[in-house]
């Protein structure tokens, strides 16, 4: 069962990250750095956010693969509901990253290379991974404990969640 879940989650992750890579072709660097208003992120800042967060999620995946620590600990009920629904709540989420400065990308290629590196790292991690042989979990700052497949699903959901933000930015800037 876990190998089936792993295959489904890995395929979904790859499909979603490839969409983000493909979207880069639709924008110039100037477009990526344009903010719809003073209180909003640019699309480039969204890319910076998703690459930074996803890279951290990958570190958590790898750590959970290599330990049996915290196997008895549970995720928060909100996390359980999100994973069961396979999506973030349909709302704008305020969190630490929302209220901190997120840098603009320096080049489009920088964003593409970061996404490609993340995709490769995730696929390498799961290439020889057997979910039935690991029980470890690592702690999410707000949602408590995830195992490696939970992290993979969460990473894909997070990437997909930001499609809505991309659409709002595109609409505000008249790019749709």
Containing structural domain, residue 139: 2-172
Per the model's pLDDT, the better-predicted residue between 93 and 65 turns out to be 65
- How many residues in the chain? 176
- Distance between start and end Cα atoms, the chain: 41
Instruction: Express each pLDDT in 78-114 by its tens digit.
Output: 999 999 999 998 876 654 455 568 999 999 999 999 9
pLDDT score of 25 more than 80: yes
Lowest mean pLDDT among 107-116, 127-136, 163-172: 127-136
Question: How many domains would you assign to the chain?
Answer: 1
pTM (two decimals): 0.94
Instruction: Express each pLDDT in 48-61 by its tens digit.
Output: 999 999 999 999 99
Residue % of the chain over a pLDDT of 70: 94
Which CATH number characterizes residue 63's domain?
1.20.120.450
Rounded to whole angstroms, the Cα distance separating 118 from 124 reads: 10
Q: What pLDDT shows up at residue 98?
A: 52
Instruction: Express each pLDDT in 139-151 by its tens digit.
Output: 999 999 999 999 9
pLDDT score of 31 more than 80: yes
Q: What pLDDT shows up at residue 90?
A: 80
């Amino acid at each position: 069962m876990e190998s089936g879940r792993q295959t489904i989650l890995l395929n979904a992750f790859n499909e979603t990250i490839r969409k983000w890579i493909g979207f880069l072709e639709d924008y110039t660097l100037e477009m990526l750095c344009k903010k719809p208003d003073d209180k909003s992120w640019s699309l480039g800042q969204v890319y910076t956010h998703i690459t930074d967060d996803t890279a951290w999620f990958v570190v958590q995946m790898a750590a959970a693969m290599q330990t049996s620590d915290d196997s008895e600990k549970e995720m928060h009920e909100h996390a359980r509901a999100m994973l069961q629904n396979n999506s973030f709540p349909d709302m704008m989420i305020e969190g630490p990253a929302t209220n901190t400065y997120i840098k603009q990308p320096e080049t489009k290629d920088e964003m593409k290379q970061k996404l490609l590196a993340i995709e490769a790292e995730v696929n390498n991690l799961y290439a020889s991974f057997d979910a039935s042989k690991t029980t470890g979990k690592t702690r999410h700052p707000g949602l408590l404990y995830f195992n490696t497949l939970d992290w993979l699903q969460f990473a894909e959901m997070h990437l997909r969640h930001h499609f809505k933000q991309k659409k709002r930015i595109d609409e505000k800037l008249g790019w749709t």
